[in-house]
Amino acid sequence: MAFNIASSPHTHSRRSTSDIMRTVILCTALGVAAQWFFFGWGTLIQVLLASVVAVTSEAAIMKFRKRPALPYIRDNSALLTGVLLSISLPPLAPWWITVIGVVFAIVIAKHLYGGLGQNLFNPAMVAYVVLLISFPVQMTTWLPPLSLSAESASLTDSLLAIFTGFTQDGFSVHQLRLSVDGVTMATPLDTLKTSLTTGLTTTEAMAKPVFGTFAGVGWEWINLGFLLGGLIMLKMRVIQWHIPVGMLGALFVISSVAFLLNPDGTASPLFHLFSGATMLGAFFIATDPVSAATTVKGRIIFGALIGVLIYLIRTWGGFPDGVAFSVLLANMCVPLIDYYTRPRTYGHS
């Protein structure tokens, strides 16, 4: 009987890496479906495009490394990276944005460190941050929800907008961003942040049509979809509870304290929990077993650190949402967190 030594990620279940990755991908379906329902066909097109590019990039880099490509493609890790990055992008982002991002995630953020189990940072979030810094205009061109949009984009229109920049009727992506009132709409996080800097109160800012019951129109349901998908993964023991609870708990506590102290100048805890990429980050990104902390206490601290950083970046940072930056900053702290939270050796006092 052979004894094999392998790098992380390690799992105590009998499931293979391929099965775990596939389960995670399937559990994103609820959130992706909600995103498609509220923002149109572009979401599904981006997922399909990113998946093809991810698998192709994985095969190409393994060919370059003189290793058989099929076993690495079948572990579904590249496919998961492509899916996570694609649902973080604006639905009608140009095709080359998706291609550059996915290639960077697979080739640089993953294989430059040695491949699965060796990367220090979450590949999808590394690529997202690189795209956001390099192409801020394209990465912030989110459409208004279909119910508030002046021009809806069909499947054909979405394909043409992504690959040519214009719909079949000649509308540009900028024109598709107009609401029924003729106003170019931003995401709820960006709208609230901008409104507060202009002197409006939280109540006045959230009277705008882009906001729903307690968060943004559509975003409430998207986050709820990812929350349900995350709970399914917890039920199936694909992930553990420590990081999501640490992250969401810290975000809830710090936003609650700020809201109690200044309700007119800060968003409510529910707004923070169900806006942007909060639930996607808590269950599908921060829980990456390779780049997250490994000890029980360390995972709770790791998640809490992400939650605090998200609030700080959303409130005082230069970007509306801070999930990607927070995850990467927390990834940098993993060696230190693991060092100070490692369990005491049995027999030592």
Burial of 115 (0-12, 13-18, 19+ CB in 10 A): buried
Lowest mean pLDDT among 212-216, 279-283, 321-325: 212-216
Pairwise CA distance, residues 85 & 78, whole Å: 11
DSSP 344: P
Residue partners of 193: CB distance under 8 A and separation at least 6: 314, 320
Residue partners of 327: CB distance under 8 A and separation at least 6: 122, 125, 281, 285, 286, 306
Location of structure tokens 């801070």: 322
Radius of gyration of the CA atoms of the chain, in A = 20
User: Given pLDDT bands bounded at 50, 70 and 90, which one contains residue 14?
Assistant: low
pLDDT at 98: 97
Residues 146-191: pLDDT tens digits? 888 877 788 999 999 999 988 888 888 887 777 655 556 678 899 8
Pairwise CA distance, residues 119 & 48, whole Å: 25
Location of structure tokens 């049995």: 346
Q: CA 264, 267, 270 angle in degrees (round to 5)? A: 135
Please give the model's pTM, rounded to 2 decimal places: 0.91
SS3 157: helix
Q: Do 100 and 118 contact (CB within 8 A), yes or no?
A: no
User: Given pLDDT bands bounded at 50, 70 and 90, which one contains residue 5?
Assistant: very low
